[in-house]
Amino acid sequence: MKSPLELRVMQEFIETCTISWQKGWNERNGGNMSYRMKDEEVDAVKQFFSFDKPFVKIGLKVQNLAGEFFIVTGSGKCYKNVAKYPEDNICIAQIDETGESYRIVWGLVNGGKPTSEFSTHLLNHSVKKEATDGKFRLIMHAHPVNTVALTFILPLDSKVFSRELWEMMPECAFVFPEGLGVLPWMLCGGTEIAYATGELIRRFNTVIWAHHGVFTSGPDFDEAFGIMETVEKAAEMLVKVISCGGKRQTMKKEQILALSENYDVNIDKTLLE
Ligand code: 2HA
Ligand code: ZN
């Protein structure tokens, strides 16, 4: 191993930044992403880490992440530049033993700090690690146009968003059977929105921030990115349908439930009540 950049997971991280930017989800420095590294990935590249930077307070406590390492995008850094200059735009950060601070051990070579949403990312990681027995490792935040546009049109309610997007295509029930969490507009970048998102992400793998963007979570890049793609595609369909004058016919509740039963996906029926 010559550097952390040779890790397969690092290459996936970088590629995902590029694709997200190309999709228009992460304009300029918009959006952010973090990945909780596996022990074997840390072991493979640990010799490149430096442990001389000071610990910085997270603003909240994530005890079950103590000692963990995260690949994370830098605050104010452009997704567009990640592939060209990864060491300048992303970093690896380690959580201390109390779960209250982090320090940068690799990357951001020209200075900087992890994303302004790091506290939300870490709380989401903490919740998902516990809820999935350590399976979930990714948190992605982006500003996909159609999903955000819908937050100006639809009531800001999980039931409404879940049902409306499930109706767009069968794939939605397969990809997010648990539905979508929705938060009203809140000030971003702080711990209040971190706690509010953490509450919802326990139940949902996706949380929509009204008039701002989307958080998705998953065990790997395909899953976390896949939910973002699917939600945004369904949102685009709905925006087009609304723009064409609204639905004249649609999938019925029983048809959505039939998908759940016939394909053994555990759709949350309470969202259809
Ligand atoms: O600029 O997306 O939510 C990064 C963000 C803040
Ligand atoms: Zn954002």
pLDDT digits (tens, 9 = 90+) for 119-166: 999 999 999 999 999 999 999 999 999 999 999 999 999 999 999 999
Residue 59 alpha carbon to ligand 1 centre in Å: 17
pLDDT at 263: 86
The burial class, CB within 10 Å (0-12 / 13-18 / 19+), for 184 is: exposed
pLDDT in tens, 189-208: 999 999 999 999 999 999 99
Q: What is the DSSP string of 89-143?
A: HEEEEEE-TTSSEEEEEEE-TTS--B-TTHHHHHHHHHHHHHHTTT---EEEEE-
The answer to whether residues 56 and 23 belong to one domain is: yes
The secondary structure of 223-268, three-state, reads HHHHHHHHHHHHHHHHHHHHHCCCCCCCCCHHHHHHHHHHCCCCCC
In the residue annotation, 100 being an active-site residue is answered as no
Residue that finishes a domain, picked among 113, 139, 165:
139
Residue that finishes a domain, picked among 92, 111, 139:
139
The answer to whether residues 242 and 183 belong to one domain is: yes
pLDDT at 106: 98
Do you know the residue count of the chain? 273
The answer to whether residues 116 and 158 belong to one domain is: no
In this predicted structure, the answer to whether residue 60 has a pLDDT above a threshold of 90 is yes
Domain that holds residue 24: 1-139
Give this prediction's pTM. Answer: 0.97
Q: Residue 93 forms beta bridges with which residues?
A: 70, 104
The answer to whether residues 12 and 71 belong to one domain is: yes
Residue 96 alpha carbon to ligand 2 centre in Å: 26
Residue that finishes a domain, picked among 104, 139, 174:
139
In this predicted structure, the answer to whether residue 71 has a pLDDT above a threshold of 80 is yes
The answer to whether residues 175 and 83 belong to one domain is: no
Closest ligand 1 atom number to CA of residue 115 = 4
Mean of per-residue pLDDT scores for the chain: 97
